[in-house]
Amino acid sequence: MARKLLLEKAHVEGIRTYDVYRREGGYRSVEKALKTMTPDAVTEEVKKSGLRGRGGAGFPAGMKWSFLAKPEGVPRYLVVNADESEPGTFKDRYLMEFLPHLLIEGMICSSFALGANTSYIYIRGEYAWITQILENAIAEAKHHGWLGNNILGSGYNLEIYVQRGAGAYICGEETALLESLEGKRGNPRIKPPFPAVKGVWDCPTVVNNVETIAAVVPIINDGGEEYAKIGVGKSTGTKLISACGNINKPGVYEMDMTISVEEFIYSDEWCGGIKNGKRLKACIPGGSSVPILPANLLLKTAKGETRYMNYESLSDGGFASGSMMGSGGFIVLDEDQCIVKNTYTLARFYRHESCGQCSPCREGTGWMEKILLKIDRGQGKSSDIDLLWDIQRKIEGNTICPLGDAAAWPVAAAIRHFRDEFEWHVANPEVCQTRNFGLAHYADELQVVA
C-alpha cells in the first residue's frame, strides 16, 4: 500500500471540521513555520523537496517562489488556482471537499514564506457547494487564531478570501485567472511581465494549484529532504491521480510515482482493470489537453522499457511516442471507444472555451471541430486528415496562452497514433452515416492489445 501524505485522513469522520482536523495533527506545520523558521527557510525546504507544480506544467514550486519580486512597500499575494476545469481532472475538488483545512494550512505556510498578507482561492463557479465548505473552514481557522492579526504571536498577519469564477476553462491559465480575480474578462495576458513581477493588481504574485499548496504541509512537517526521498528522480513526493473512463474503480488515488502504468490500470489496489473484461485501447494520462497514447506505447516506451506513472517516464520520447503527467487526469479508453468521436468531443470543448483573443486559436479550433465532425459522420475525405494535421501544427506555439496547444495536441496525437481509424471513417461513409457505434465493428483492424 502506497504511503499517503495528503489523503491519509480524508475519510476520518468529521475531518472537515476544525476540531477533528486539529485533533488529527492539523496545523502543526504552521506552528513549526511561524515559531521556528524564517520565510526564506520555508522556501528552502520547498526547494529541497523537489516539489513540482501539480497543476499541469510541473515547474519546480520552490524555484517559482524564489522568482517573486520583493520591492519595498509593495504588497505580495498568493493565489491558489482552484479552477480545475481540465476534463478528466477532479482531484483538487476532492481535496477541498474532504480536507479544506489542509489547503488552508498549506496556504498559511506558503503565504508566510512569500511575505503575503492577503491570499486568495480562485475556485471554478461550478464548485458552489465547495465554496461554502471553504468559507466555513476559513471562518473556523480565523476563530481559533490561525488567520487574522499576529498569528501565534509571531507578528505575521494573513487573511484568506474565496473568489468564485464563472465557469470558464481559460481562467485556469494563471494570467487569465488574475484578470478575472480583478473583475475583468478572463483573457490571458502577454508575458513578460510574469505574475511574479506583476500579478494581481500589478503586484508580485505566486499562483499555485490546490494540490501543490496542500503538499507544503507534509514538506514542512517532515522536512524537504524526507519528502524528496519519496518517488524517483525529479518526480518526488506523492501525486494525486484522477482516474476515470472504462475502468472498474474510478476515483482519486495518491501514489508515490514509482509504480508502472500497467500496474496502475490493472492492479486491484488502483483501477482494478478494464471494465467488462474489455481490452485496453488507449489512455489520455494527464487530462484532456495532453497527447493520447495507444496501449502499446502506454505500457512500454518506444525503447521497450516499462513506462511508469511519473513526469519523466510518461514524457519519454517526446510527443512522437510520449505524453505528459499534466494535471493527473487519467482517462482510460477500452477497445469499443472511437478515437475520431472522442477527438471531436475534445475539439468541440476547446473551440467553445477559446477566449478568442488569438486568431490561430479562435479560428483554428472551430475549423478542427468542423472537420472532425465531417469525418465522424462519414462525410470526410482523405485530404481532410492532412488538413487537420496542418491546422493543429499552425495553432501550436502561436498563441498567447497554452489553450491553443491544449487544443492542438489531442488532434495531433490522435492522427499520429490512430490515422488508420480516421482513414476507416473516410473509406466507410455509408456505415458512419447510419450508425452509432464504437470500435467494436472494426476492432480487429486497429491497434488494440490484449
Indicate the CATH number for domain 339-445. Answer: 1.20.1440.230
> In 10 A of CB 64, how many CB atoms?
21
Whether 157 contacts 151, CB under 8 Å: yes
CATH of 240-334 among 3.40.30.10, 3.10.20.600, 3.10.450.50, 3.40.50.720: 3.10.20.600
Strands 118-123 and 159-164: parallel
Give phi and psi for 112, each to the nearest 5: -60, -45
Q: What is the 3 state secondary structure string of the chain?
A: CCCCCCCCCCCCCCCCCHHHHHHCCCCHHHHHHHHHCCHHHHHHHHHHHCCECCCCCCCEHHHHHHCCCCCCCCCCEEEEEECCCCCCCCHHHHHHHHCHHHHHHHHHHHHHHHCCCEEEEEECCCCHHHHHHHHHHHHHHHHCCCCECCHHHCCCCEEEEEEECCCCHHHHCHHHHHHHHCCCCCCCCCCCCCCCCCCHHHCCEEEEEHHHHHHHHHHHHHCHHHHHCCEECCEECCEEEEEEECECCCEEEEECCCCEHHHHHHCCCCCCCEHHHCCEEEEEECECCCCCEEHHHHHECCCCCECECCHHHHCCCHHHCCCCCCCCEEEEEECCCCHHHHHHHHHHHHHHHCCCCCHHHHHHHHHHHHHHHHHHCCCCCHHHHHHHHHHHHHHCCCCCCCHHHHHHHHHHHHHHHHHHHHHHHHHCHHHHCCCCCCHHHHHHHCCCCC
Closest among 397, 404, 372, 398 to 387, alpha carbons compared = 372
Give phi and psi for 371, each to the nearest 5: -70, -40
Residues 6+ apart with CB under 8 A from 419: 385
Task: Measure the N-to-C terminal CA separation of the chain; round to a whole number of Å.
Answer: 27
Whether 261 contacts 309, CB under 8 Å: yes
Q: How far apart are CA 265 and CA 280, in angstroms?
A: 9
Residues 6+ apart with CB under 8 A from 328: 54, 89, 91, 211, 239, 240, 241, 242, 286, 287
* pLDDT value for 1: 52
The long-range contacts involving 393-396, CB below 8 angstroms and separated by at least 24 positions, are: 394/360, 394/364, 395/360, 395/361, 395/364, 395/365
Q: How far apart are CA 287 and CA 274, in angstroms?
A: 19
Q: How far apart are CA 335 and CA 394, in angstroms?
A: 31
pLDDT along the chain (450 residues), means of 10: 85 96 97 97 97 87 94 95 94 97 98 98 95 98 97 97 94 96 95 95 97 98 96 93 97 95 96 96 94 94 91 90 91 95 96 95 96 94 96 95 95 96 92 59 39
- Spell out the domain ranges in the chain: 18-229, 240-334, 339-445
Closest among 91, 62, 83, 60 to 174, alpha carbons compared = 83
* pLDDT value for 316: 92
Record: fold of 18-229: Rossmann fold (3.40.50)
**Residue 187, C-alpha cell as written in the block:** 483573457
> In 10 A of CB 390, how many CB atoms?
9
**Region for residue 3 given its phi and psi (left: phi exceeds 0; alpha: psi -120 to 50; beta: otherwise):** beta
Closest among 364, 406, 400, 396 to 175, alpha carbons compared = 400
Q: How far apart are CA 236 and CA 228, in angstroms?
A: 5
Residue with cell 488569438: 358
Upper half-sphere CA count for residue 291 (Cβ side, 13 Å): 26
Fold agreement (18-229, 339-445): no
